[in-house]
Structure 1
Amino acid sequence: MNRNQLVYTFLFCLATLSSHAQYQFSGHVDTQVIDGNVYLSVVEDYRKISGVYPEQILSKTTPDTTGYFSFFGNNLPSENRIYRIHVDTCNEADQNTSHFTSHCPNSKEIIFIANNNDTLTLPFSFDNEMFCKVVSKNEKANAFLKIDSLKHDMSFAFGTYRSEANRSMNSKKWFHILQEYGEQLHEPLAELYSYAFLSDRTQSLHSYYLEDLKTNPYYDNLLERLTTAYPNSQYVSQYKAELTSDKYIISENHTIKYPWWLYLLSGIALVSILGNFYFFGKLKKATAQIPSLEASLSKQEKKVLDLILEDKTNKEIAAEMFVSLSTVKTHINNLYKKLHVSSREEVKKLNN
């Protein structure tokens, strides 16, 4: 162990004694990024597992001359959470753009599960690659690396022969492999990692996910496991909201079900509206006919009509027009025929 590592170890022990620090995440970076910064982030949004998101960053440090770095403290949740450590050599000017777009072209990252009590190291792999191995007493820590290994095998299977038949066969096969493997790890956060990949709308497996969601109880069971393990976490609320939305998308009937009495009232209202249209239509038609009918009346018949509307009797009409009673009756009969009525009441209604 070199002097710098001794210093880090001493500082860690000192922090443990003075502030009861409970976690330490340490590792090495290679010479290509040794001049960069190393960031520790907590991932609460599983749709932002991979990438660079400034709002997720908890701490920043720089590697020593050997590439060694360390994060320690006691400010993490006691429950498992998703964490990311990434290193990049973006200068401050580049970070404003690269970190904002959640991507640094020269960054390298590793995703893992940890909590406030974990001691975790990220040594070089057997072929001296960084961020390819997680050493921790927390058996869940390297779950994401295991899933990534399966995803690598899937990519190889897809690439052996490019055809629609091969894609269709492998899509269905690997969809269930990834789903079942996530469940076998007995860690809902690992299942979320697989779920985020399988349900990603940009992935070819998304159509299988929507079809599987129609009949497979796995997704509701995952919600129960998440709620039990992490009842107050953002993971639960986000997953529940997405599941509700996707179930609505695949539902065959998107119509809203209203109570029966609302349909009854709607029917009555419709009949009333149609009845009003019919009544006003007839009234309008009859009203339009009155001028033309009255135009066909003779001068004497019009005089009789006016007197009828004044509630004059036949005798009063005869006296006022200086004609006989029989002449009045003849005028009235002709008036009824032309107006298509049969009584004085109908004549009055027609002229209201």
Structure 2
Amino acid sequence: MRIKLLFVFLSISSICKAQYSFSGYTNPEEWDRAVYLSIVEDYRKMSGVYSEQIIAKTTADSSGFFEFKGNMLDTENRIYRIHVDKCSDIQQGVNHFNGHCSDSEALLFIAKNTDTLKLPFSFGNQVFCRVESNNPKANAFVKIDSLKNDMRFAYGEFRSEANRKLNNKKWFKTLQYFGEALDEPLAELYIYTYLSDRSSDLHSYYVEDLKQNQYYDNLKARLETTYPNAPYTKQYTNELEADRYMLAASNGETASNWNVILYSFLGLSIILNLFLLYHFWKRNQSKIDDLKAKLSKQEQVVLEHLLMDKTNKDIAESLFLSVSTVKTHTNNIYKKLNVQSRNDAKSLFTK
């Protein structure tokens, strides 16, 4: 019994300890003491300060130390951001319009509810440059940012159009391979966001690469396997489909598809019209048959001659009848069809 109680106590203790702790230092002489923790669920909003993403706020002490802790985070890896700025609460909405903030310092990292993360000062009391965590994926974004800094240096060495084009081609693949080697789909999304940005010089390479490279489908598979329920996976899937649709449209494939749809619709329309015409003809023919059924055999024969605009004399000669007999048949036809003249009779059979 005691052993069972001890086991239950240890289980409860381990659950109670299953919480995150994100701590570090800011420079109080440079930054306001307010420190913010945000969760990034839209990977197009990794860079910048968005008030709707903030989930916690704390105040650093006089030494600059701050800490976020609790157990409210997701049990799987997600993208988080810690940032400091020089904006008051009143200024936040204005200064952070569209995520832009010129007076801020931020760090993106990967974490889950059980992680410990420390952000000590780096050289020269720089903040958010070093990451110490029990999660090996935590500093993936720092590594990527370091590589992007190397890229910027390479671009700045020779400021010519030729150098820029060569570097575009080289760094596009370098960043892509680097992200894949990190073995963390969330880190790959960070690079994908940069490479597929429509305002970037690299976007044209992304468009060409999307035509032939299976990398993007493989990344989708990795996301679906590792993060099937994360918002990033659905967002990436939708973006990939949208980009491929636009790519197909630019190549004329969409126009071809629309032609197929248009011709199919036209064919169905013709078939429907033919069916309606046949149905109308059948209904009219049935009505004509019903009208003729009211007449005797001899009256039906006389009617056929009347519809051909023959005179009573012509009809009498054709049927070897007297004119008076034809007139009698004609009057009977008018009565049975409820008409007053030949023209009325013809209107019944020529609609």
Whether 2:225 is the aligned partner of 1:228: answer: yes
Judge conservation of contact 2:36–2:57 (CA < 8 Å) in 1: yes
Q: Distance in 1 between matches of 2:93 and 2:99?
A: 10
Residues 30/266 of structure 1: CA separation in 2 closer, same or farther (3 Å cut): same
Judge conservation of contact 1:34–1:65 (CA < 8 Å) in 2: no
Q: Distance in 1 between matches of 2:35 and 2:89?
A: 14
Q: Distance in 1 between matches of 2:240 and 2:257?
A: 19
The aligned runs of 1:119-198 (5 Å cut-off) are 119-198=116-195
Query: Displacement of 1:30 after TM fit?
Result: 1.1
Q: Distance in 2 between matches of 1:57 and 1:142?
A: 20
Judge conservation of contact 1:22–1:74 (CA < 8 Å) in 2: yes
Q: Secondary structure at the match of 1:124?
A: coil
| Match in the other structure for 1:103 | 100
Q: Distance in 1 between matches of 2:19 and 2:126?
A: 28
The aligned runs of 1:176-255 (5 Å cut-off) are 176-251=173-248, 252=251, 253-254=253-254, 255=256
Using the TM superposition, name which of 17-26 and 244-253 deviates more: 17-26
Residues 60/264 of structure 1: CA separation in 2 closer, same or farther (3 Å cut): closer
Judge conservation of contact 1:36–1:90 (CA < 8 Å) in 2: no
| Match in the other structure for 1:53 | 50
Count of matched residue pairs: 273
Q: Secondary structure at the match of 2:223?
A: helix
Query: Displacement of 1:102 after TM fit?
Result: 1.8
Residues 36/89 of structure 1: CA separation in 2 closer, same or farther (3 Å cut): farther
Query: Displacement of 1:21 after TM fit?
Result: 5.2
| Match in the other structure for 2:267 | 265
Letter in 1 for 2:172: F
Residues 136/269 of structure 1: CA separation in 2 closer, same or farther (3 Å cut): same
Q: Distance in 2 between matches of 1:28 and 1:312?
A: 118
Q: Distance in 2 between matches of 1:230 and 1:18?
A: 23
Q: 1:40 aligns with which of 37, 41, 52?
A: 37
Judge conservation of contact 2:33–2:61 (CA < 8 Å) in 1: no
Deviation digits for residues 301-333 of structure 1, max 9, x if unmatched?
Answer: xxxxxxx956255799xxxxxxxxxxxxxxxxx
Q: Secondary structure at the match of 1:131?
A: coil
Residues 159/226 of structure 1: CA separation in 2 closer, same or farther (3 Å cut): same
Q: Distance in 2 between matches of 1:314 and 1:88?
A: 110
* TM-score scaled by length of structure 2: 0.70
Can you give the 5+ residue segments of structure 1 that lack an aligned partner in the other structure?
1-15, 273-307, 317-347
Judge conservation of contact 1:33–1:87 (CA < 8 Å) in 2: no
| Match in the other structure for 1:292 | none
Q: 2:60 aligns with which of 59, 63, 73?
A: 63
Using the TM superposition, name which of 158-167 and 227-236 deviates more: 158-167
Residues 163/67 of structure 1: CA separation in 2 closer, same or farther (3 Å cut): same
Deviation digits for residues 251-304 of structure 1, max 9, x if unmatched?
Answer: 2201336489937825956997xxxxxxxxxxxxxxxxxxxxxxxxxxxxxxxx
Can you give the 5+ residue segments of structure 2 that lack an aligned partner in the other structure?
1-12, 275-307, 317-345
Query: Displacement of 1:98 after TM fit?
Result: 2.0
Q: Distance in 1 between matches of 2:160 and 2:60?
A: 46
Q: Secondary structure at the match of 1:256?
A: helix
| Match in the other structure for 2:24 | 27
Q: Distance in 2 between matches of 1:17 and 1:135?
A: 22
Letter in 2 for 1:262: S
Percent identity between matched residues is 54
Q: Secondary structure at the match of 1:31?
A: coil
Residues 315/256 of structure 1: CA separation in 2 closer, same or farther (3 Å cut): closer
Q: Secondary structure at the match of 1:117?
A: coil
Judge conservation of contact 1:198–1:206 (CA < 8 Å) in 2: yes
Q: Distance in 2 between matches of 1:267 and 1:18?
A: 67
Query: Displacement of 1:145 after TM fit?
Result: 0.7
Judge conservation of contact 2:44–2:193 (CA < 8 Å) in 1: yes
Q: Distance in 2 between matches of 1:137 and 1:219?
A: 30
* TM-score scaled by length of structure 1: 0.70
Query: Displacement of 1:18 after TM fit?
Result: 10
Deviation digits for residues 222-272 of structure 1, max 9, x if unmatched?
Answer: 000001110101010000000000011112201336489937825956997
Q: Distance in 2 between matches of 1:49 and 1:37?
A: 20
